[in-house]
Amino acid sequence: MQNKTKLCVGAIGGILAVSIGGVQWTQEREGTVLKPYYDSGRVATVGTGTTVYPNGQKVKITDPPITKKQATEFLQYHMKGDSTVLNQSLKGVKLSQDEYDVYADFVYQYGRNTWLRSSMLRNLKQAKYVQACNSLLLYKYITKHGKKVDCSIATNKCSGVWKWQVKRNKKCLEAQ
């Protein structure tokens, strides 16, 4: 069952944070690998997409494996920092927990600066919730070998990016 109750972000009692379900949802998307590996951009990564440890050190491919508990803790640490940016950018916007978790997952994947420049944020500030959800579908590109690649085209072999955007969009629209 989804929680469609919307809170005014930034109002008293309206500080939202990523829910446990939201963290699990991000883990589902990212996957969790306990031994350091190179991601698609050749960046050393461990756990659930961690490229920098909470202590500020970059992940090195020679680092020892981590535990599942550490992977979750690292993800929660980074998503908590993202929540600070989300809450500041969304002051006065009403969101349900499910919507918030979707946008927090987006920020974790695409970054805080992309969020702050996004059509999603612009639409949310104008209370255009459905348009904000549909704006998620604009983020279907990756850069491969210096070229912009459309992941909604199956032959481009990055369909996972597109499938997750469709999943985010669906979850967001269901919260309306």
Number of domains in the chain: 1
The mean pLDDT of 17-44, rounded to a whole number, is: 90
Note the residue count of the chain: 176
Helix axes 68-89, 97-110, angle to 10 degrees: 110
Q: Kindly state whether residue 139 falls inside one of the protein's structural domains.
A: no
pLDDT digits (tens, 9 = 90+) for 92-107: 999 999 999 999 999 9
- CA 36 to chain centroid, in Å, comes to 21
pLDDT at 74 over 50: yes
Residue range(s) defining the domain that contains residue 85: 7-127
Q: Percent of the chain, pLDDT > 90?
A: 77
Name the band, by pLDDT with cuts 50, 70 and 90, for residue 1: very low
Q: Kindly state whether residue 140 falls inside one of the protein's structural domains.
A: no
Q: What is the CATH classification number for the domain harbouring 75? A: 1.10.530.40
pTM of the model: 0.88
Would you say 137 and 169 are in contact if contact means Cβ atoms under 8 Å apart?
Answer: yes
pLDDT digits (tens, 9 = 90+) for 107-161: 999 999 999 999 999 999 999 999 999 999 999 998 888 899 999 999 988 898 8
Q: Kindly state whether residue 136 falls inside one of the protein's structural domains.
A: no
pLDDT at 3 over 70: no
Q: Kindly state whether residue 171 falls inside one of the protein's structural domains.
A: no
